Chains A and B, each alone.
Chain A
């Protein structure tokens, strides 16, 4: 049974709880550390990707600028241009040849006024080369041999570079405009270099944000575009914005399917609002290693918990089983069975406890035996009082009714019977008499040979001590009649008995030496009771039970017939004592 209050259950819960807490804390700690590590790592990756993008773009622009410089110095194109009316179709096909030489997908040739002369792409017209013209004007204004920037060419994002066509330097004959698209291919290359998702988002003045290129699936890219557009807080800028002073901070955003550590990077455009370069690292990818570690920790934890549970259960059983045995043993002891002994072969505290228990059982057995003997040697009441108050010398004065019973003709009988037979007969007699006395709540003070001394009202006070004593005496008489009938049937002579009863104030208590003592009563009244018993021997009285006026006075209910016998002189007493014969009620 699984009960919370059981020791084994509690031990199990304690051990598992502690272990679980430790493991859970470790797990949470590792998990949190992994998480913050992952974020930090992702942020580093994003910053790296941003750097890679800037650097590769810068390098490619530089390369194209260098290529354009070589192109502008090329003899072949000069020959084409040196004609009075340069053939535009020939120029275009020459530029087409150059696109392959320099690896620029777009090459345009502008005249000194910024008008399109020819281009490698048949679709390009004078009205959609605005960004090239803008750059050529910038370069002319700044008197620099190169100008570059980002712009849309026919709505597609491009990086552009413009270099002058010298004829010869510093005479500008025209401008070479080169461009390469910032497209899916660039995004994919950046992703493969940095493991970062890349999305270029156009935030137009009107209309929804447009995904220019992305490594993400279309729907997620569109969601990213929406968030990016929202990040472009404030009024849209039309002028090329200065480079951001501080590196933008990465943030974690929730997208369908995953969470992404995200870096929003604005990119200035030529004459149009800035675009957003959104660099993202999926948390799940970043956390993959950490998740594996967490899984391992979880596995180890489960194994540890299972093992701990088994060990805890085993230990708890080792403790609770003997405890349960002790409990059962205690119940036996409580029920009074001191004979059982615990069999626990253990060297630990429980073994010591079992040994102590066995010793206790032995002690209890011993005590019981002593108590039993005490009960038999003294009356149960005295034994109880001794156990209750201890055996100390001293006593108290109280009114006690004393009963003395004596066999008549016992001396003659003792001469006729063998000692063993005599003892058996005596015991038989005393047993019957004792029963009657105890039935009335009397206390056997002592047996003096064949005589019985009994107390009523001591050691426990009894309001009706006199009535009890009279009733006991009458009961003894009846019991003797019964015994005599048995003796006669056995062919033995009947016994005769005399009883004296007196009530007096006496001292009751433990009387004797320090080593041996008896509970008894002392006083003049004791002697009177003994004397009254002796009076029954006088045949003229015809009385087996004689009591004193003091006892009669103590009677509140008359439970017998009283026959006055006059006054007798008691030895050692000045005052004569008025005595009565006690007979069964008529």
Chain B
């Protein structure tokens, strides 16, 4: 998604919000998704967000209202994937025994939290939509993603591939799905109605994933 498109859609959403606020009170629904890959295995850690195609009243929620944490625990980022609305801030608490050096080189947000000892928790504001890949300078296997979206309606799928976006007003939406192993975002139109609907089933074609993993020390008969 290009930044300009993001901006346009956000403008439309804002207009829709104004219109909705002026006319009928919004009746919100929960939109559930169920993601599987080409092997019918559930896809976790995918981010789904909705972009309204009709003018709707988006709920006004300040970007800072909900704060996310990406902790550093036992040499890993926790959680692996975090979705935030543009303008939200994310805290990076070091809950580990060792120091870490968190950084990102992604265009959506370049930042660096220089070598910091356990107990420190710096906060970064993500004001631009986009995918921010986060790493640790001294631990190659540490990896996390912050997916910044221009939408009030988003969710991250859990282990069973399910994700639920709450409080979505009825109407037509474009659903976008991101996953680290998805070559391009999946985009599809979904209609939201007041009636309870079955989860939107989506099959994604994931590429083979490479993720730096921490190998157990002394593997392969080396020094013990």
Task: Please give the residue numbers on chain A whose beta carbons come within 8 Å of chain B beta carbons, in ascending order.
Answer: 75-77, 79-80, 83, 87, 89-90, 92-94, 96-97, 99-101, 105-106, 120-124, 153-154, 156, 158, 179-181, 183-185
Cβ contact within 8 Å between A185 and B101:
no
Nearest-Cβ distance from residue A199 to partner chain B, whole angstroms: 16
A100 CA / B215 CA spacing, docked (Å): 8
Nearest-Cβ distance from residue B71 to partner chain A, whole angstroms: 16
Cβ contact within 8 Å between A94 and B138:
yes
Cβ contact within 8 Å between B137 and A156:
no
Cβ contact within 8 Å between A79 and B115:
yes
Contact status of A154 and B224, CB under 8 A, knowing A76-B137, A94-B139 = yes
Nearest-Cβ distance from residue A99 to partner chain B, whole angstroms: 8
Cβ contact within 8 Å between A100 and B140:
yes
Nearest-Cβ distance from residue A183 to partner chain B, whole angstroms: 5
Chain A positions within 8 Å of B140 at CB level: 97, 100-101
Which residue on B lies nearest to A93, using beta carbons?
B98
Report if B114 contacts A (CB, 8 A). Answer: yes
A281 CA / B222 CA spacing, docked (Å): 27
Nearest-Cβ distance from residue B214 to partner chain A, whole angstroms: 8
Cβ contact within 8 Å between A105 and B220:
yes
Nearest-Cβ distance from residue B128 to partner chain A, whole angstroms: 27
Chain A positions within 8 Å of B212 at CB level: 100
A220 CA / B224 CA spacing, docked (Å): 26
Which one of B99, B141, B221 lies within 8 Å of A80 (CB-CB)? B99
A90 CA / B120 CA spacing, docked (Å): 15
List B residues 59-81 near A (Cβ within 8 Å): 75
Which residue on A lies nearest to B215, using beta carbons?
A100
Which one of B98, B137, B217, B224 lies within 8 Å of A120 (CB-CB)? B217
Chain A positions within 8 Å of B137 at CB level: 75-76, 79
> 9 A–B contact pairs at CB < 8 A?
A75-B137, A89-B98, A92-B98, A100-B215, A105-B223, A106-B223, A121-B217, A122-B217, A154-B224
Cβ contact within 8 Å between B221 and A90:
no
A156 CA / B218 CA spacing, docked (Å): 12
Which 6 pairs across A and B sit closest by C-beta, in order of nearness? A105-B222, A90-B99, A90-B98, A106-B223, A94-B138, A76-B137
Contact status of A80 and B217, CB under 8 A, knowing A90-B98, A106-B222 = no
Chain B positions within 8 Å of A180 at CB level: 222
Nearest-Cβ distance from residue A150 to partner chain B, whole angstroms: 14
Cβ contact within 8 Å between B223 and A100:
no
| Residue of B101, B140, B222 with most chain A CB atoms under a 10 A cut-off | B222
A153 CA / B223 CA spacing, docked (Å): 7
Report if B97 contacts A (CB, 8 A). Answer: yes
Which one of A80, A181, A185 lies within 8 Å of B223 (CB-CB)? A181
A106 CA / B219 CA spacing, docked (Å): 10
B interface, over-half SS:
loop
Contact status of A123 and B223, CB under 8 A, knowing A76-B101, A94-B139, A97-B140 = yes
A87 CA / B100 CA spacing, docked (Å): 11
Which residue on B lies nearest to A179, using beta carbons?
B223
List B residues 37-61 near A (Cβ within 8 Å): none
Task: Please give the residue numbers on chain B whose beta carbons come within 8 Å of chain A beta carbons, in ascending order.
Answer: 75, 97-99, 101, 114-115, 117, 137-141, 212, 214-215, 217-224
A129 CA / B211 CA spacing, docked (Å): 33
Cβ contact within 8 Å between B101 and A79:
yes
A77 CA / B139 CA spacing, docked (Å): 10
A168 CA / B114 CA spacing, docked (Å): 21
A80 CA / B114 CA spacing, docked (Å): 10
Contact status of A77 and B115, CB under 8 A, knowing A105-B218, A123-B224 = no
Chain B positions within 8 Å of A184 at CB level: 221
Nearest-Cβ distance from residue A155 to partner chain B, whole angstroms: 9
| Residue of B99, B115, B212, B223 with most chain A CB atoms under a 10 A cut-off | B223
Chain A positions within 8 Å of B214 at CB level: 96, 100
Which one of B138, B217, B218, B220 lies within 8 Å of A76 (CB-CB)? B138
Cβ contact within 8 Å between B138 and A89:
no
Chain A positions within 8 Å of B98 at CB level: 87, 89-90, 92-93
Nearest-Cβ distance from residue B97 to partner chain A, whole angstroms: 6
Chain B positions within 8 Å of A96 at CB level: 139, 214, 217
Nearest-Cβ distance from residue B141 to partner chain A, whole angstroms: 7
Nearest-Cβ distance from residue B210 to partner chain A, whole angstroms: 13
A181 CA / B141 CA spacing, docked (Å): 23
A185 CA / B219 CA spacing, docked (Å): 12
Cβ contact within 8 Å between B223 and A183:
no
Chain A positions within 8 Å of B221 at CB level: 156, 181, 183-185
Chain B positions within 8 Å of A183 at CB level: 221-222
A119 CA / B223 CA spacing, docked (Å): 11
Which residue on B lies nearest to A106, using beta carbons?
B223
A120 CA / B218 CA spacing, docked (Å): 9
Cβ contact within 8 Å between B217 and A93:
no
Chain A positions within 8 Å of B141 at CB level: 97, 100
Chain B positions within 8 Å of A75 at CB level: 137
Chain A positions within 8 Å of B220 at CB level: 105, 181, 185
A300 CA / B221 CA spacing, docked (Å): 53
Given A83-B115, A99-B217, A156-B224: 15 more A-B contacts, CB < 8 Å: A79-B101, A79-B138, A90-B99, A94-B139, A97-B139, A105-B222, A105-B223, A121-B222, A154-B223, A154-B224, A156-B221, A179-B222, A179-B223, A180-B222, A183-B222
Nearest-Cβ distance from residue A153 to partner chain B, whole angstroms: 5
Which one of B97, B138, B223, B224 lies within 8 Å of A97 (CB-CB)? B138
Contact status of A124 and B223, CB under 8 A, knowing A80-B115, A90-B99 = yes
Which residue on A lies nearest to B212, using beta carbons?
A100
Cβ contact within 8 Å between B75 and A93:
yes
Which residue on A lies nearest to B99, using beta carbons?
A90
Nearest-Cβ distance from residue B198 to partner chain A, whole angstroms: 44
Chain A positions within 8 Å of B138 at CB level: 76-77, 79-80, 90, 93-94, 97
Which residue on B lies nearest to A86, using beta carbons?
B99
Chain B positions within 8 Å of A156 at CB level: 221-224
A441 CA / B187 CA spacing, docked (Å): 153
Chain B positions within 8 Å of A83 at CB level: 115
Cβ contact within 8 Å between B117 and A87:
yes
Chain B positions within 8 Å of A120 at CB level: 217
Which residue on A lies nearest to B218, using beta carbons?
A121
Nearest-Cβ distance from residue A123 to partner chain B, whole angstroms: 6
A158 CA / B214 CA spacing, docked (Å): 23
Chain A positions within 8 Å of B97 at CB level: 89
Cβ contact within 8 Å between B139 and A181:
no
Which residue on A lies nearest to B137, using beta carbons?
A76
Which residue on B lies nearest to A121, using beta carbons?
B223
| Residue of B141, B214, B217, B218 with most chain A CB atoms under a 10 A cut-off | B217
Nearest-Cβ distance from residue B143 to partner chain A, whole angstroms: 12
Cβ contact within 8 Å between B101 and A181:
no
Nearest-Cβ distance from residue B28 to partner chain A, whole angstroms: 46
A96 CA / B141 CA spacing, docked (Å): 10
A121 CA / B217 CA spacing, docked (Å): 6
Chain B positions within 8 Å of A93 at CB level: 75, 98, 138-139
